[in-house]
Structure 1
Amino acid sequence: MKPSRRETIAVLAGAGSAALSAAGMTAPTHAQEAKPGERVATKSSDETQNIETRIGRLEFTHDFANGYPTDATIDKLYDERDFQRACQAYLWSLPAVSFASWQRGVTKGLGAKNGQIVAILSIEARRGILTANATTPYYLGFADLSTGPLVMVIPPRGVQGGISDAWQQTIPGTESPGTYLVLAPGQKAPDDVVGYTVRNSATLNIFLGARLTDTDPEKAKEALANLRMYPYAQRDNPPKMEIFDAGTKAWSGLPPRGMEYWQRLDEVIQAEPIEPRDIFFHAMLRPLGLEKGEPFRPDTRQTKILTDAALVGEAMAKANSADRRFKGDTYRSDAHWDFALLLDADDPDGFWNLLDERASWFYEAVGAGAAMAPKRPGPSSAYLSAYKDRAGEWLDGGRSYRLRVPPNAPIKLFWSVTLYDVGTRALILNQQNIADRSSRMDLRKNGDGSVDIYCGPKAPAGFEKNWIPTVAGKNWFAYFRFYQPTEAYFDRSWPLPDFEQV
């Protein structure tokens, strides 16, 4: 028999109340029609309601819809709001804090001067940089443009690099060889700019990075001699380029943890202009004591929130890098190798508007440009990253693995596989000072031309030349680099298997 309209309404009302009850909420109580001889049940005006949520219990003066949060709940909500914002600000600020930490390490840690080129050659020196390669020489320098325009010369051959700002965004048009005149925000170009390619930086602090790619020592030496950086004011008599060799000195350009992370961020906020895209992040940080033009003196509450957010924010960053959940992030479906840098080479500037993709790269790496995420063959390098083995388990320093690199790797120059400690995201630290193996080395090959790379605490007999030592008690991850990749990389027809436990 079809229910009456009144019966249907009664059933729906009962279902709605049950749903609210299951969610920990109570439906508003309405006055009921009094029948002769019956009392009307009403809700007390001072009755509070508690709701269990993912941040704990929230208390309201009445039911949620008709009441206000109590004083204790208001404090909890503001603390949670600021904590969530700080976690997101951690992810947002990774490129800038990483840059500031790197610059601080080079200038204050190593002792390089403003605008001086530094040679990072030894494995000890490379450990001061996030996911540095262990194969090609690094030459880099940081400069503060507040003292005036700077001339930078990138040689015509044998060098791959470019100029970037304090957010590690490549200054447009500086990845090609040339003589550049770099201006700070608001600086006017001088009258005499003949022979210079004028470029404006969005920040006061900039970075010149270069890798020598020529295998001929004499040609590499010639390219290095033509790499220059000096003030425009000294253009008529450029100073002799004195390259600072970092040697084997221990230093760190790695982002700090805890409250020191926010101190580095405050240095960036005070020194650099605010980009329009970042206005809301600056607004989110003001209640936490991070504000341009104001000293950073967090109180007890702010310190507690920022300390917790530095830990949880980094945990989010670690998950965001090691277990990527982006569309098209996997090289091939038959293995656990990801594209480490999810930058569109045809629209590199768009990468800085992708919060999570940007954070996944800059948590564990430095520098980003079109030549590092190529879409077609040419003078470039490509990066794949692996964090898990064939069984889907995290790569662990206490276990032994084999990576079989198939023959005919799609490269014009060479390939390399490099291991990094999870804790530092820097070259793996072991007693042997071995962090990579590459096709430039004298590796033992299999009969079909493939190469077995072994990673583990002990060297396998007969494959010592193919071994990268790992350390028990720590996880590690790997980068596989293609220097000048060819078509089989881009169409993904060349397979790269997983690390497999042996």
Structure 2
Amino acid sequence: MKKVMTVIMVALMAASVGWAKEPPKMEMTTEIPPGIATPDELETRFGTLNFFDGVPDKQTVQKVYDNLDFQHAFQAFLSGIQIASMDALKKGILEFGPANTTAVLFEDLMDSKALFLTANTTSVYQMLWLQLKDEPMVIETPPDVLGIIDDHWFRYVADFGRLGPDEGKGGKFLIIPPGYEGDVPEGYHVARTNTYGNWVIWRGFQVDGSTKPAVEATKKAFRVYPLSKKDNPPEMNFVNVSGQFVNTIHRMDYKIFEEMNEVVQAEPSDGENPEILGVLASIGIKKGQPFRPDARMKKILTEAANAGAVTVKTIWSYPRDEMFYFYPGESNWLNPFPGGKYDWVSEGASLLDARAGFHFYATGITPAMAMKIIG
């Protein structure tokens, strides 16, 4: 009897082991194709990640969010560098007087004290910060200049001068602010802007080595005033800044995000790309809200700014896309507008590297800079 019981128990144990190894397949079981389920352990560039039934553990959650915040901050640097650049231009100009009535002139050309991107020492640079409110502003421009108006997001608004509608003769331009629905009188070259703040820059030209004709033409003709004051415009203040310290270059460290935030707070959101604003919002730069990153986030932003800085330098120093080169494989001459697109859009896609690389080293957006001229 004992032998029989022993045999039965051994048989039952063997059956239970078999049962544990091969559970019955349920009728509604579906085979999961490979590549869908998350393994219990993953090796990534930001560490080992652990999961239970596909759910991350607490340490993994922290690693993932640290990485996500870094990626958002890094993309914010690359996508928002032009916004910071315009903020720096604004601050540099307003150091010499209020908006609309202060024109900054390099009457004796630029020198090493002027911190500008891509400026030269032969053009007679002149500029003003245009600040609109609830009515159009008039800009009277001098003849024979190359002039550009870009908005606060660093988007093109208008040309004036040789490549503008005034055909180099000088003229009256009416700049319409965001949301304006009032009457637009005739007799002006009309341009609409998506921002209240706008950068106005124009270059005069030397005559027989003299800057005097260009400077005198500006002082005689250039005026800025609200449309309502066209019959009694305020006086302009022309400031010669040649030889003075002027800084218009954006930051390349953590504070670049503070520069971006100032523009976001100052302008309507409608005028900027929702994707760019979304990236900025993901790191705490949101319209109508204070930008106050905690210690953890500030550390991440600092690291992202450092990574962004070396990335834009690398993009422009050693481009890997042939469209950056005028003569691919033959020379290192670079096209500042790869693909010939001043708005950084080609075949419906944004040229992300080209845009970031350009705004790292240059300023001024206009179709005229990207177009091909035969001759």
Label 1:55 to 1:206 Cα distance change in 2 as closer, same or farther (>3 A). same
User: Aligned pair 1:344/2:340, yes or no?
Assistant: yes
Map of 2:74 onto structure 1: 87
Offset, 1:37 = 8.6
Q: Work out the number of aligned pairs and report it.
A: 331
Q: Is the 8 A contact 1:137 1:212 kept in 2?
A: yes
Label 1:99 to 1:312 Cα distance change in 2 as closer, same or farther (>3 A). same
Distance 1:50 1:321 in 2: 38
Give the letter aligned to residue 196 of structure 1.
Y
User: Aligned pair 1:248/2:236, yes or no?
Assistant: no
Deviations, residues 394-421 of structure 1 (Å, cap 9, x unaligned)? xxxxxxxxxxxxxxxxxxxxxxxxxxxx
User: What are the equivalent positions in structure 2 for 1:337-416 lying under 5 Å apart?
Assistant: 337-342=333-338, 344=340, 348=343, 350=345, 353-377=350-374
Map of 1:450 onto structure 2: none
Q: Is the 8 A contact 2:134 2:177 kept in 1?
A: no
User: What are the equivalent positions in structure 2 for 1:48-447 lying under 5 Å apart?
Assistant: 49-61=40-52, 66-107=53-94, 110-115=95-100, 116-120=102-106, 121-126=109-114, 128-146=115-133, 148-157=135-144, 159-172=145-158, 174=160, 175-176=163-164, 177=166, 178-190=171-183, 193-216=185-208, 217=210, 219-224=213-218, 225-275=220-270, 278-332=273-327, 333-342=329-338, 344=340, 348=343, 350=345, 353-377=350-374
Deviations, residues 246-279 of structure 1 (Å, cap 9, x unaligned)? 1322231111133321111111111112247622
Label 1:286 to 1:369 Cα distance change in 2 as closer, same or farther (>3 A). closer
Give the letter aligned to residue 43 of structure 2.
E
User: What are the equivalent positions in structure 2 for 1:28-67 lying under 5 Å apart?
Assistant: 49-61=40-52, 66-67=53-54
Label 1:88 to 1:38 Cα distance change in 2 as closer, same or farther (>3 A). same
Distance 1:229 1:221 in 2: 16
Offset, 1:298 = 1.2
| TM-score under structure 1 length normalisation | 0.60
How large is the Cα RMSD of the aligned pairs?
A: 2.8
Q: Is the 8 A contact 1:60 1:70 kept in 2?
A: yes
Offset, 1:36 = 11
| TM-score under structure 2 length normalisation | 0.79
Q: Is the 8 A contact 1:138 1:211 kept in 2?
A: yes
Offset, 1:307 = 1.3
Give the letter aligned to residue 282 of structure 1.
L
Give the letter aligned to residue 59 of structure 1.
N
Distance 1:286 1:180 in 2: 35
User: What are the equivalent positions in structure 2 for 1:450-465 lying under 5 Å apart?
Assistant: none
Distance 2:276 2:256 in 1: 16
Q: Is the 8 A contact 1:179 1:197 kept in 2?
A: yes
Distance 1:125 1:208 in 2: 21
Map of 1:491 onto structure 2: none
3-state SS in 2 of match to 1:334: coil
Deviates more, 1:292-301 or 1:247-256: 247-256
Give the letter aligned to residue 122 of structure 1.
M
Give the letter aligned to residue 195 of structure 1.
G
Label 1:137 to 1:60 Cα distance change in 2 as closer, same or farther (>3 A). same
Distance 2:370 2:277 in 1: 30
Deviations, residues 40-63 of structure 1 (Å, cap 9, x unaligned)? 659xxxxx93321112111112xx
Max Rg structure: 2
Deviations, residues 297-321 of structure 1 (Å, cap 9, x unaligned)? 1112221221111111122211122
Distance 1:210 1:125 in 2: 20
Label 1:348 to 1:266 Cα distance change in 2 as closer, same or farther (>3 A). closer
Q: Is the 8 A contact 1:289 1:302 kept in 2?
A: no
Offset, 1:219 = 4.2
Offset, 1:188 = 3.0
Map of 1:21 onto structure 2: none
Q: Is the 8 A contact 2:139 2:224 kept in 1?
A: yes
Deviations, residues 344-374 of structure 1 (Å, cap 9, x unaligned)? 36x7574794322111111111112122223
Q: Is the 8 A contact 1:96 1:167 kept in 2?
A: yes
Gaps of 5+ in 1: 1-33, 43-47, 378-485, 487-502
Deviations, residues 266-299 of structure 1 (Å, cap 9, x unaligned)? 1111111224762233333334221111111111
Gaps of 5+ in 2: 1-13, 23-38
Offset, 1:199 = 1.5
Give the letter aligned to residue 330 of structure 2.
D
Distance 1:93 1:364 in 2: 14
3-state SS in 2 of match to 1:123: coil
Label 1:168 to 1:283 Cα distance change in 2 as closer, same or farther (>3 A). closer
Q: Is the 8 A contact 1:125 1:246 kept in 2?
A: no
Label 1:214 to 1:343 Cα distance change in 2 as closer, same or farther (>3 A). farther
